Amino acid sequence: MAETLRYLLDTHVWFWLVRGREGRLAARTAAKLEQTALGAPLGVSVISIWEIALLASKGRIGLGMPVHEWVVSALHRPGFLLVDLEPATAIESCNLPAGFHADPADRFLVATARLKNAVIVTRDKRILEYGKRGHVKVMAA
């Protein structure tokens, strides 16, 4: 039986949780996610791994180690579950209702959350607005 996914983390939220970047994540949000992770894993999409690698390759984030090592270490921390990209997600990402914006990573994350009936945890204003319109469950980070 597949594990139920309650929350899907946007890439930056996952990065901040792993790095412990104080001030980047509201204390209440971080506490809620940490408490949730004790009982149910927090989803991390394989697309977020791609985004981390892309950001690191462009010098927009520093990981302090090679990307592969950082990802392996981050995913082996308690409370995280890697969510694979499934064919249905790829299709859903191309058919999101109400004209969602074109960023491919965001489209995959939103499609994953919709299909898994999970809440996407993000600070991205476009995703939060999309959630307010009822197209995906959201939690502001």
Distance between CA atoms of residues 51 and 45, nearest Å:
10
Q: Within a domain: residue 1?
A: no
Per-residue model confidence (pLDDT) at position 22: 58
Q: Within a domain: residue 124?
A: yes
Q: Within a domain: residue 65?
A: yes
Q: Within a domain: residue 127?
A: yes
For 81, other C-beta atoms within 10 Å of its C-beta total 15
Q: Within a domain: residue 2?
A: no
**Grouped pLDDT means (10 residues each) for the chain, 141 residues:** 78 90 72 76 96 96 95 91 96 93 95 97 96 95 87
For the domain that residue 56 is a member of, what is the CATH number? 3.40.50.1010
Per-residue model confidence (pLDDT) at position 118: 96
Residues 6+ apart with CB under 8 A from 92: 111, 114, 115
Q: Within a domain: residue 101?
A: yes
Range 53-75 burial, b when 16+ CB lie within 10 A, else e:
eebbeeeebebeeebeebbeebe
pTM value? 0.91
| Total domains in the fold of the chain | 1
> Where do we find the tokens 């945890």?
121
Domain that holds residue 84: 7-140
pLDDT tens track for 45-61: 999 999 999 999 999 99
Q: Within a domain: residue 128?
A: yes
